Structure 1
Amino acid sequence: MKNIKHELQNIIYPVEPFGETGKLKKIQSFLRRNAETGAGVKKQKHLKSEEAAILIAFAKAEGLFYHNEILEKDFIGAGAEQRVFRYDDFSVIKTNDSIFYSSWLDYFNSLLIHNYFFPATAYEFIGFKIIQDTLFAVVRQDFILATEPVNLEIVKNFLAYNGFENTRNNDYINQEIGLIFEDLHDENVLSRNGVLFFIDTVFYLLDKFYE
C-alpha cells in the first residue's frame, strides 16, 4: 500500500518532473503550480470563479479548448456532476463543471487517480468548453456495455480487499493512502461478463496523503 501511495504522490505532487505530457497532466501541473504560489496545495482554498478565470486564460494560450460542437441528439444521460454524449461507436464524451469539487485542481487530481486505478476506463481530457457562461471540462472515455446488473456487495468486497473501508452507503476511505472514494452506486460501476468497470469516480485527497 505504501508503494501505491508513493506512486500516486509522484503523479499528483511529484518531487521530480513527471513523464506524462498529455493535456490532462498539463492542466493539473499548471493548477498545482498556481496553488503552490500560496500556502501549499493541501491548504489552498481557491475561489473557483478566480481559478476558472486563470484556467480559461491558460487554456486559450495553450490551445486547450474543445471546438467541436456537442449535439443534443447525441445526449445519452446525465448525473449530478456531468452530462454524457455519444462520441463514436466505441466511446462517449462527458462534460463536467467540477461541481463535486472545491477546486478545479481537485477535479483534475481525481481524473489522474482514476486513470491510475482504472486504466480500462481511463479518462482522456480533450479540452475545455464554455457552455452558457460556465466552464466545463470535456473528457472522452471508452463505452462499456454492461451484461448484467452490478452487485454492490461484490463492489464492497473488492474495495475492502484493496484497502478501502465502507463509511456509509456507497462511500469509501483508504486511511493508509489518505484517499476518499465516493458515489459508487450502480450507475457508476458496471459489470460486464463478471468483470467490474468503474466508469464514474469521485476521489478526494486527505491531508495525510501528503505526509
Structure 2
Amino acid sequence: MAEGFKHFKKQEKETLERFIELNSLWILDINLEDYLSEGAEQKVYLKDGKHVIKLNDSIYYNSWIDYFNNLLLNNFFFPDTAYNLLGFFKNEDIIYAVVEQPFVKATEPTDLEVVKKFMLVNGFLNTKNNDYYNPDLGIILEDLHDENVLTENGILQFIDTVFYIKDNFYEN
C-alpha cells in the first residue's frame, strides 16, 4: 500500500508541476530572510505588518486535493484568517503552495476550554486532545492547540487549521 501511495504522490507532483508551468504559477520572489517560524507542515514568513506568507508542501495530506480542500474549509469556517493561494514555490525539488494569511498577534493566552466550547457550539465534538469531528458534515479538524488558535482582543483566531473530509462528505 505504501508503494502505491508513493507512486500516486509522484504522479500527482508531476501533474501539478505541469499545471503550474502552463499557468505561470511559480512564485520566484519570496524573501526567505523574513522567516518567522515553522511547524511540521509549513514555513512562515512575514510579508508586511498585516500578512504572513506560508509555504506548505502538503505533507499532512494524502494528496494536494486534500490540502486544497483544507484551504477552502478554513476559509469557509474562519474567514477572518482566510488563506489566499498566491502560487507555488520550489526548493530542493520540493513543491510548496504559497499562501498569504492575515497576521494575527496574540494579545492574551488561548484558553483551550474556550476553544472546546466554541467548537461544540459549532457542531464539532472533541475526539482527543485538540482534535475535533463534525459528524453531520463528515469533517475532521485537528491540531487546535494554543499555537494554532490565538486569542486576539478576546477573539479566537484560527491561524493553522488541519481539516480533513471523510469519504461521505460529498453525500451530505
Q: Which TM class, normalised by the smaller chain length?
A: over 0.9
Structure 1 position 191 matched with structure 2 position 135: no
Quick check: 1:65–1:129 contact (8 Å CA) kept in 2?
yes
The correspondence of residues 45-60 of structure 1 with structure 2, limited to 5 A, is 47-60=8-21
Calculate the TM-score normalised by the size of structure 2: 0.94
In 2: Cα distance, 1:48 partner to 1:168 partner: 29
* Equivalent residues of 1:46, 1:102 under 8 A apart: no
2:112 & 2:7 partners in 1: Cα distance? 35
Matched, 1:103 2:63: yes
Could you tell me how far 1:46 is from its partner in structure 2?
7.4
Q: Is 1:112 aligned to residue 72 of structure 2?
A: yes
- What residue identity is the alignment partner of 1:87? K
Q: Say if 1:93 and 1:138, in contact at 8 Å, map to a contact too.
A: yes
- Structure number with the higher strand fraction is 2
One-letter amino acid matched to 1:54: T
What is the RMSD of the two structures over their aligned residues, measured on CA atoms?
Answer: 1.4
Which runs of structure 1 show a deviation greater than 2 angstroms over 4 or more consecutive aligned residues?
Answer: none
Shift of the 46–162 alpha-carbon distance from structure 1 to 2, 3 Å rule, reads farther
How many residue pairs get aligned? The number is 167
* Larger proportion of helix: 1
Distance 1:178 1:47 in 2: 24
The residue identity in structure 2 corresponding to 1:70 is N
Match of 2:45 among 77, 82, 85: 85
Tell me what 1:63 maps to.
Answer: 24
- Offset, 1:63: 1.1
- TM-score by length of structure 1 reads 0.77
Q: Which amino acid aligns with 2:110?
A: V
